[in-house]
Every structure is written in C-alpha cells, then in structure tokens.
Amino acid sequence: MPTLMINGQPHSVDVDADTPLLWVLRDILGLNAAKFGCGIAQCGACTVYVDGKAVRACNLPVGLVGTRAITTPEGLESADPVVQAVKSAWVALDVVQCGYCQPGQVMAAVALLRTTPNPTDEQIDSAMSGNMCRCGTYMRIRAAIHHAAGELA
C-alpha cells in the first residue's frame, strides 16, 4: 500500500506495486489531466514529473516511485514563470487542435525550458520527439516553445 506524494499531497493507495502510476492517477485519484494514449511509453500523453524529471506514467510501476515527488499537469504552478510563459505562448499561437496530447506536450515543453532556456530547433525536436500529436501540431509547438523562450529571456 504505497503512499505517494502527488502535487505536494500524500496519497495512500491500495494497489499492487506493479500498477502503473497512470492507473492510480486517473482511475483511483481522479487526476485526469495526464492522458492515456498508448500505454507503452511511446506517445507522451501521460507525461508527469517524478522529482522534476518528465516520465511516462503509463509505464511506471508505483512501487518504483517510492516517496519521490510526483507532479501531474494539474500540479503545474501558474505562478511559475516558465509555466506562465508556456501557457500564454500556447494561447497566443493557438497551438491546440483536439487537445488530447497537449497536457503531455506542455509538461515536456516546461521541462525542456527549465534545463535549456533557449533551445534550438534541433534541441526542441530532440526533447519533444517522444510526444506524439495525432493532429500534427508539431510546427506550432516548436514555434510556441521559441515564443515562450523569448518571453523568458
């Protein structure tokens, strides 16, 4: 029965250690912002942070998380300048199409800008290639990341 630290709150859940984190977030705790896309770490829709590092929740057994801090898209702080810049860039460039992949895209973009404040196209492609978008918003995502980087500079 692991106790998980999610968005700063402890949550005790009664599941097997090999239950994927995404199942716990969505089905047990009702935190639905991280999406289920592929279930095999291929699409990035389920991206959350563990200790600040972007991970695929669909393929991460809760038993391996331990007491490390989990951040879901719900837990992104609006007051955080990087989060703010990414959100407003996403709105300004109207990135979203159907939206299904977008929580994962935003999580990946924020994580990228935290470590690489002014990424090149290549670096964006490298960091974002694990996040699929069925609607093909890739060009707008890339532009929005540049836009957010400009805001933060």
Partner 1 sequence: MTHAFSFLPAKRVSLSGTVTLTALLLATLCLPTHAAHASAAEEGTPGNTPVERGQYLTHASDCEVCHTAPGGMPYAGGRAFKIPGMGVVYSTNITADKQHGVGAWSDAEFVAAVKQGVSPGGKHLYPAMPYPAYSRLSDQDVRDIRAYLATLPTSASAAPKNNLRFPFSIRSLMIFWNIINGPTSAYPDDTSKSAQWNRGRWLVEGPGHCADCHSPRTLTFGLSSSKAFGGNTLNGWRIYNISSDPKSGIGGWTEAELAQYLSTGHADGHGTASGDMADVIGHSLRYLTPADIQAMVTYLRSTKPVSTPQDSVTFRNVANGDASLPQNSRGARLYASACAGCHLPDGTGRQSSFASIAGGRSLGADNGRNLIQVLVNGTGLQTATGVQIMPHFTGGGLSNRDLADIAAFVMTHFTTAQPHDLEKQVEQTVKERD
Alpha-carbon gap, residue 13 to 20, rounded angstroms: 12
Check residue 16 for interaction with partner 1 (CB under 8 A).
yes
Nearest residue (CB) to partner 1, 63 versus 81: 63
Q: Enumerate residues 38-67 that contact ligand FES by CB under 6 A.
A: 38-39, 41-46, 56, 58
Q: Which of 3, 125, 139, 150 binds partner 1 (CB under 8 A)?
A: 125
SS3 of residue 123 by DSSP: helix
Residue 123 contact among partner 1, ligand FES, none, beta carbon within 5 to 8 Å by kind: partner 1
Check residue 69 for interaction with ligand FES (CB under 6 A).
no
Span near ligand FES by CB under 6 A; candidates 11-19, 78-86, 93-101, 116-124 = 93-101
Span near partner 1 by CB under 8 A; candidates 25-33, 86-94, 95-103, 114-122 = 114-122
Q: Which two tokens stand for residue 114?
A: 């935290």
